[in-house]
């Protein structure tokens, strides 16, 4: 923002300097030229009066012009109506010829007044004069070196003032940029702390109404989020206590059944389900906490979760197979991955048939592709688009939860239709990869 304010101020000041400086430079040039012409006009008028009073012949006029040239340091020239030089106090004839053809000189002849001419290297003023009954043109000329130097000095002064104005604009832009950008940067830092879970962060006040309104709204939001988080933690603690108490009672009942001679396999299956329920409760409570970056060995996690599912599958005459290739660790929470895997295995066991295959493969990104495949009827063309939305229906039970959990970890849930059965895959970002690296795998 500071750079944008600086550049916008520089552009505004630059445009203003161009719009004001160029006309000012032209006006100064015209003024200096006019001032020089006025000086020359005064001298040529005095010379005409002197010639009218003292000159009775052309040689006498030439002598008077030599005297005036020595006194003033300027060049005096007399020209006849054809432009021929009659008398000249200088040595270079070129300006006289140029002067004789000047439109200003023609106007001077016609109107009887002074004419102004600025040629290459000189500036001149001319007036018509009568000498011995002959109409002549009296011209006084001077070098334009001093005029050019004066114009150059004036333009340099204008440029200096423009640079000073530009520098003042830069300083003002830096000050305003710091004054306006600093409160926004502080707000961004407070919002970043809030996004990282620091609900004690409070936005500083700057004295500017708009940023202070945003800071007040941000503080209100932080307070509400803090209250909601405290209530969530309180509810999680209460729920954990309320759920673990009956689970403990259930375990005691299962131990009593085992001691009373109940079927060992049924007791073992019930105990496994109680263990799974306790793990699920622990994972759900973990997911209720603020997210944190973890590096999870997804192959090890998957293998540890399959024992309970193999027991349930054997009870239905089915089998769970793990097909794991070498894969990298993934950047996700173990609780989220465990819940997603549980949803996929639940669906495969409840709605599929035949062997359930859990496969792990490396995908470019880097990333990991975890798929659960069964040999059941699979998804139809009509149910696939709705299978993982919140109205998933029979085949999509639990998939909305899995999708929301995996997307919160930076991955994606993808449903495929092989030639036989159904396949649901989790695309997970590997450690060091970006969240979107596996999105298109």
pLDDT the model gives residue 360: 92
> How many Å apart are CA 67 and CA 63, to the nearest integer?
6
Looking up residue 416, the CATH number of its domain turns out to be 3.30.565.10
pTM of the model: 0.44
Contacts of 321 (CB under 8 A, 6+ apart): 355, 356, 357, 358
Same structural domain for residues 10 and 99?
A: yes
Q: Taking a C-beta distance cutoff of 8 angstroms, is the pair 358, 371 a contact?
A: yes
Same structural domain for residues 60 and 204?
A: no
Looking up residue 254, the CATH number of its domain turns out to be 1.10.287.130
Question: In the numeric block, which tokens belong to residue 185?
Answer: 């940067």
Which residues span the domain enclosing 130?
Answer: 2-150
Mean pLDDT for 188-205 is 76
Band (358; pLDDT cuts 50, 70, 90): very high
Same structural domain for residues 418 and 358?
A: yes
* Domain count of the fold of the chain: 3
* C-alpha 65 chain-centroid distance: 74
For the chain, percent of residues with pLDDT exceeding 90:
4
Same structural domain for residues 296 and 281?
A: no
Q: Which helix (H) or strand (E) holds 158?
A: helix 145-195
Cβ neighbour number for residue 385 with a 10 Å cutoff? 11
Mean pLDDT for 171-189 is 76
Apex 440 CA angle, 374 and 325, nearest 5 = 50
Contacts of 187 (CB under 8 A, 6+ apart): 203, 211, 214, 215, 218
Which ranges of 196-291 does DSSP label H, i.e. alpha helix? 209-259, 264-287
Mean pLDDT for 401-426 is 85
Ramachandran angles phi, psi of 319, nearest 5°? -140, 145
HSE-CB for 3 with a 13 A CA cutoff: 0
Band (371; pLDDT cuts 50, 70, 90): very high
pLDDT the model gives residue 370: 92
Contacts of 299 (CB under 8 A, 6+ apart): 324, 327, 360
pLDDT the model gives residue 237: 63
pLDDT the model gives residue 325: 83
Which ranges of 316-436 does DSSP label H, i.e. alpha helix? 334-351, 399-408
Cβ neighbour number for residue 344 with a 10 Å cutoff? 26
Q: Taking a C-beta distance cutoff of 8 angstroms, is the pair 338, 299 a contact?
A: no
Residue 156 located in a structural domain: no
Contacts of 391 (CB under 8 A, 6+ apart): none
Same structural domain for residues 249 and 304?
A: no
More confident residue, 238 or 117: 117
Looking up residue 53, the CATH number of its domain turns out to be 3.30.450.210
Question: In the numeric block, which tokens belong to residue 381?
Answer: 């063309």
| Domain's final residue, options 90, 115, 150 | 150
Question: In the numeric block, which tokens belong to residue 372?
Answer: 């659960």
Q: What dihedral do alpha carbons 203, 206, 209, 212 form, nearest 10°?
A: 0
End-to-end CA distance of the chain: 38
| Domain's final residue, options 121, 150, 179 | 150
- Residue 429 per-residue DSSP state: E
Closest CA to 28 of 20, 41, 125: 20
Residue 231 located in a structural domain: yes
> How many Å apart are CA 300 and CA 305, to the nearest integer?
9
| Domain's final residue, options 95, 129, 150 | 150
pLDDT at 276 over 70: no
Band (53; pLDDT cuts 50, 70, 90): confident
pLDDT the model gives residue 366: 67
Same structural domain for residues 300 and 400?
A: yes
Same structural domain for residues 22 and 141?
A: yes
Mean pLDDT for 367-386 is 74
Same structural domain for residues 25 and 131?
A: yes
By three-state DSSP, how is residue 413 classified?
strand
Residue 338 located in a structural domain: yes
pLDDT digits (tens, 9 = 90+) for 146-157: 888 888 898 899
pLDDT at 105 over 80: no
Question: In the numeric block, which tokens belong to residue 387?
Answer: 């299978």
Contacts of 57 (CB under 8 A, 6+ apart): 132
Same structural domain for residues 296 and 429?
A: yes
Mean pLDDT for 198-216 is 76
């Amino acid at each position: 923002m500071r750079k944008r304010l600086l550049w916008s101020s520089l552009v505004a000041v630059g445009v203003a300097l161009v719009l004001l400086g160029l006309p000012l430079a032209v006006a100064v040039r015209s003024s200096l030229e006019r001032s020089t012409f006025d000086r020359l006009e005064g001298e040529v008028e005095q010379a005409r009066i002197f010639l009218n009073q003292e000159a009775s012949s052309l040689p006498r006029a030439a002598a008077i012009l030599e005297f005036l040239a020595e006194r003033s340091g300027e060049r005096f020239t007399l020209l006849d109506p054809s432009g021929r030089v009659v008398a000249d106090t200088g040595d270079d004839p070129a300006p006289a010829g140029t002067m004789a053809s000047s439109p200003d000189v023609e106007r001077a002849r016609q109107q009887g007044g002074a004419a102004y001419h600025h040629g290459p290297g000189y500036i001149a003023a001319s007036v018509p004069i009568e000498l011995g009954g002959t109409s002549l043109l009296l011209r006084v000329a001077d070098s334009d070196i001093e005029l050019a130097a004066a114009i150059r000095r004036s333009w340099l002064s204008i440029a200096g003032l423009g640079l000073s104005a530009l520098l003042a604009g830069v300083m003002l832009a830096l000050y305003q940029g710091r004054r306006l950008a600093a409160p926004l940067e502080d707000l961004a830092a407070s919002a970043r702390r809030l996004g990282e879970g620091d609900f004690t962060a409070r936005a500083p006040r700057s004295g500017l109404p708009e940023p202070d309104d945003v800071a007040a709204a941000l503080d209100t939001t932080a307070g509400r989020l803090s209250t909601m988080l405290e209530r969530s933690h309180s509810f999680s603690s209460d729920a954990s206590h309320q759920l673990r108490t009956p689970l403990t009672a259930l375990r005691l009942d299962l131990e009593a059944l085992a001691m009373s001679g109940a079927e060992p396999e049924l007791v073992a299956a019930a105990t496994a389900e109680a263990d799974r329920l306790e793990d699920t409760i622990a994972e759900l409570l973990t997911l209720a906490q603020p997210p944190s970056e973890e590096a999870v060995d997804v192959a090890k996690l998957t293998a540890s979760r399959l024992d309970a599912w193999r027991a349930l599958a054997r009870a239905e005459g089915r089998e769970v197979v793990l097909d794991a290739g070498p894969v990298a660790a993934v950047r996700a929470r173990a609780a989220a991955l465990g819940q997603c895997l549980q949803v996929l295995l639940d669906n495969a066991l409840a709605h599929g048939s035949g062997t359930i295959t859990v496969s792990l493969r490396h995908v470019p990104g880097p990333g990991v592709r975890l798929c659960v495949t069964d040999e059941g009827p699979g998804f139809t063309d009509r149910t696939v688009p709705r299978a993982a939305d919140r109205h998933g229906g029979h085949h999509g039970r639990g998939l909305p939860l899995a999708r929301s959990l995996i997307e919160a970890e930076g991955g994606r849930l993808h449903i495929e239709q092989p030639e036989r059965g159904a396949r649901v895959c989790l695309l997970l970002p590997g450690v060091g990869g970006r969240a979107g690296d596996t999105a298109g795998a």
